[in-house]
Amino acid sequence: MSIQAKSLARHVPKASLADEIAQALRRQTVSFHALPLSFGGSLRGSALKGAYQEILGTQWRGDLTVGAPYVDSFFFPKGSIAHAEARAASVFGADATLFLTAGTTLANQIAVESLASNGTRVLIDKATHQSIHFSLDRLRARVDYIESRLLCLDSERTSFALIDVLSKVEAAEKEGDPYRLLILNGQSYDGVIYNISTILRALSEFAPSLRNIIVDEAWGSWSYLDHELRQSTAIYAARLPDLAGRYNIIATQSAHKSLSALRQGSLIHAVGDGGLGALVRAARYKHHTTSPNFAILASLDLACAQAETEGVRLVERAIRLASELRDRIAHDPLLDAYFVNETPSVEGLFQIDPSKISLNVSALTISPAEIRDVLYREFDIYINRTTVTSLLLNFHIGINEDDLDRLSEALRAIQKRYQTLPDRKRYATGFVIPYPPGVPLMVPGDEIRPSTLRRLHALQASGINLFTMDPSEPLPR
Ligand SMILES: Cc1ncc(COP(=O)(O)O)c(C=O)c1O
């Protein structure tokens, strides 16, 4: 071992739960309980063994069916799981953090069950995940919705207006039937990050009876590792001197979406009065599978260890790489058919996630869905979300410089292949004049170039008045 490798080995962060699970796996215990698949037992001589190994590897790593007292109890932890959850709580600043191996779909059900019951009056951002809507429906809570407004047609980003929330809670207080629970979506997949402390501060004034808040931060674990973004999060808000002690706050997070956790690894954080942690624990006991997945639990422990020790650096890199792509799009002539949809933030209420780029591809002769397909089939690049004009690129902590280069190369190749052909040039049929200053961006007969379109989209995003001779004529896209 080199000196450098030795010194690195000394600094491997502690993950006591992951250690305990690794030790239990090393024993290769024969189970007379369940899980015939453990260590390939049921596959000895099977024609399917190779197919299993292709996916699970030869060591059958991670799957274990041993319970307390040989590994810590998931529901009543006293040892390694208790330590791991306590460390996670300290990384995120929560009073209590619970691990889950069934996704934030379940975490949301547990959060709702902890703070609502039959007849509870609940105000909820309509743009929250289905798991919250279904839970409230099942509990027969009395639900009112906060509607979202479209911020940008291309990225399809939406947000609610704070005034809509405040007028609803104020009216409910006046009726003498105040909301008892507010449920927010802290961060959208498209990249709208609400500032939770701004919202809670305003609510303290307009909704004196409101105490219970759930914030779905499914996409947001990583933002606790960035100095600026952390200040928008639910648990940060809960700790502010003027808000501390005022609310019971539960935040749910899909650690698997933004940290190095296996799929379905999720976290529930709670900050509030003394009983809140016990309420969440009881709800988890009722709803969680009694067969928690040990590989997922170990990955949650390791993901929190990584967040604590390496997270800041990884998040910095993700944001830097996203910004590097913006630069390439702005300056590389081989990428000049693309542009980034800039959605203006509303100061104090929300900002746009710097790691999520909405890339407008409308100047190409191929649709976003078709580009997604070319990226996957030809370049081994996967993106998930497309709109009518754009693709969403999420720079998470697993993306590195090579991945950025691969994406850039793919986008260059796609531009070359699908750029608007000379005989498909488009020309303006009327005036398009931003006011102020009243100087035409296009006059009739002008060629509509990608660069002109870029300016047009930026102007639209800035909210400036755009004059057209014939208002029934749609603006060029
Ligand atoms: C906002 C939001 N909440 C909850 C979930 C569900 O999370 P999970 O996939 O971990 O069950 C999702 C999934 O995409 C989501 O976007």
Find the 187 Cα to ligand 1 centroid distance in Å.
11
* Shared domain check, 368 and 347: yes
Q: What pLDDT digit, counting tens, does each position of 179-205 carry? A: 999 999 999 999 999 999 999 999 999
- Which residue's alpha carbon is nearest to atom 7 within ligand 1? 104
411 and 432 share one domain: no
Residue 211 falls within a domain, yes or no? yes
The tokens of 245 are what? 């002690």
d(CA 308, CA 303) in angstroms, rounded, equals 9
Q: Which atom of ligand 1 lies at the shortest distance from residue 264's CA?
A: 10
Q: How far apart are CA 268 and CA 97, in angstroms?
A: 5
Residue 266 Cβ < 6 Å to ligand 1: yes
Dump pLDDT digits (tens) for 256-289.
999 999 999 999 999 999 899 999 999 999 999 9
pLDDT higher than 60, residue 1: no
Where residue 420 falls (left for φ over 0; alpha for ψ -120 to 50; beta otherwise) is: beta
463 or 323: which carries more pLDDT confidence? Answer: 323
Q: What is the DSSP pairing of strand 121-125 with strand 181-185?
A: parallel
Q: Is the Cβ atom of 101 under 6 angstroms away from ligand 1? A: no
Does 105 contact ligand 1 (Cβ within 6 A)? yes
Three-state SS at 154 = coil
- CA–CA gap between residue 81 and residue 83 (Å, rounded): 5
User: 367 C-alpha to center of ligand 1: Å?
Assistant: 27
Do 273 and 340 sit in the same domain of this protein? Answer: no
pLDDT score recorded for residue 141: 98
pLDDT at 206: 98
**Which residues on adjacent β-strands are paired with residue 340?**
359
Confidence of residue 414 (pLDDT cuts 50, 70, 90): very high
Within a domain: 74: no
Claim to verify: residue 104 and residue 223 sit in the same structural domain: yes
Of 420 and 80, more confident: 80
pLDDT for the residue numbered 423: 56
Q: Which domain holds residue 239?
A: 80-303
Instruction: Using the mean position of ligand 1's atoms as its centre, give its distance from the Cα of residue 254 in Å.
Output: 7
Calculate mean pLDDT across residues 281-299. Answer: 96
Residue 166 has pLDDT above 90, yes or no: yes
Using a 6 Å cutoff on CB, does residue 389 contact ligand 1? no
Q: Are residues 36 and 90 in the same domain?
A: no
> Is the confidence at residue 469, as pLDDT, over 90?
no
Q: How many CB atoms lie within 10 A of CB 178?
A: 18
Nearest atom, ligand 1, residue 257 CA: 10
CATH number of domain containing 458: 3.90.105
Q: Are 110 and 288 in contact (CB under 8 A)?
A: yes
The CA 186 to ligand 1 mean position distance, Å, reads 12
Percent of the chain predicted with pLDDT > 90: 76
How many domains, the chain? 4
Contact call for residues 467 and 433 (beta carbons, < 8 A): yes
252 lines ligand 1 (CB under 6 A): no
Q: How far is CA 150 from CA 121, 155, 161, 167, 377, in A?
A: 27, 9, 11, 20, 32
Residues 25 and 125 in one domain: no
**Considering the domain boundaries, does residue 385 fall inside one?**
yes
Does ligand 1 come within 6 angstroms of the Cβ of 360? no
- Is 267 touching ligand 1 by the criterion CB < 6 Å? no
Q: Is a pLDDT exceeding 90 seen at residue 63?
A: no
* Confidence check: pLDDT of 243 > 90: yes
- pLDDT the model gives residue 395: 98
Confidence band for 431, pLDDT divided at 50, 70 and 90: confident
Q: What is the pLDDT of residue 452?
A: 78
Q: Count the Cβ atoms, other than its own, within 10 Å of residue 351.
A: 19
Question: Rounded mean pLDDT of the chain?
Answer: 92
Whether 254 lines ligand 1, by a CB cut-off of 6 Å, is yes
pLDDT for the residue 6: 45
pLDDT at 135: 98
Ligand 1 center to residue 393 CA distance, Å? 17
Q: Which CATH number goes with the domain that contains 212? A: 3.40.640.10
Nearest CA among 191, 125, 200, 230 for reference residue 355 = 191
Same domain, 416 and 430: no
Q: Please tell me whether residues 379 and 403 are part of one structural domain.
A: yes
- The pLDDT tens digits of the residues spanning 88-129 come to 999 999 999 999 999 999 999 999 999 999 999 999 999 999
Give yes or no for a contact between 297 and 81, defined as CB atoms under 8 angstroms apart. Answer: yes
**CA separation for the pair 93, 85 (Å, rounded):** 12
The span from the CA of 344 to the CA of 350, in Å, is 9
**Dihedral class, residue 308 (left if φ above 0, else alpha if ψ from -120 to 50, else beta):** alpha
Q: What is the DSSP letter of 343?
A: P
pLDDT digits 0-9 by tens, 9-40: 456 678 899 999 999 888 888 888 999 888 88
Q: What percent of the chain clears pLDDT 70, i.e. is strictly above it? A: 93
Q: Which atom of ligand 1 approaches the CA of 254 most closely?
A: 10
Distance CA 78, CA 98 (A): 13
What is the model's pLDDT at position 283?
98
How far from chain centre, in Å, is Cα 379? 25
Specify whether 289 is located in the same domain as 436.
Answer: no
Distance CA 261, CA 253 (A): 11
Rounded average pLDDT over 393-408: 98
Strand bridging mode 192-194 / 350-352: antiparallel
pLDDT at res. 7: 45
Q: In this model, does residue 59 exceed pLDDT 80?
A: no
